[in-house]
Amino acid sequence: MEDSSSATLDKYWMEYALSLAVAAGRAGEVPVGALITKNDRLIAEGANQSITTVDPTAHAEIIALRAAAKALGNYRLPGCTLYVTIEPCSMCVGALVHARIERLVYGAPEPRTGAVCSAIELLGASFYNHRVAVTSGVMQQACSTVIQSFFRNKRLKS
């Protein structure tokens, strides 16, 4: 069970990730924001950039992982927590494992492509040699609202 200080910190960082998601949405990207902390300090941040960079791998999590690796001078990120507004996809889950992220905190589930517990449960796969602790549902409603509003507005415009 999480203590209240951990839950408060998770909410603080998720609010930050949500601000990154909102900015991504304003830029025309799918509004997903991510950040990485170590010892409760911000190390790196990212937001979806696949459309603007014409790069299918430019998910918020991948952008944050790349920035954290550069900031720490190591492609392994032990002791780090990744916060993301939406449940990661299979590509991002694989990257979290390879980076040795200690903990994943996400807001809303992603029923179609979520690879933590929704569409597939990759983090529990026995073939991975690293385990990532998971906390889900942090600010779930706010995270869901941001992405649902984005797609609702997109459908109205087309």
Predicted confidence (pLDDT) per residue in 46-60, tens digit: 999 999 999 999 999
Tell me how far apart the alpha carbons of residues 139 and 10 are, in angstroms, rounded to a whole number.
Answer: 9
SS3 (DSSP) at 100: coil
Do the beta carbons of residue 116 and residue 123 sit within 8 Å? yes
Tell me how far apart the alpha carbons of residues 131 and 101 are, in angstroms, rounded to a whole number.
Answer: 9
Q: How confident is the model at residue 109 (pLDDT cuts 50, 70, 90)?
A: very high
Per-residue pLDDT, averaged over 34-56, amounts to 97
Tell me how far apart the alpha carbons of residues 112 and 11 are, in angstroms, rounded to a whole number.
Answer: 25
Q: Which residues pair with 104 in a beta bridge?
A: 82, 134
Looking at every residue in the chain, the average pLDDT score rounds to 95
pLDDT of residue 1: 47
Listed in sequence order, the residues at least 6 apart from 3 whose beta carbon sits closer than 8 Å to its beta carbon are none
How distant, in Å, are the alpha carbons of 2, 11, 48, 118 from that of 25?
31, 21, 9, 23
Residues serving a catalytic function are 61
99, pLDDT greater than 50: yes
CA angle 60, 20, 137 (to 5 degrees): 75
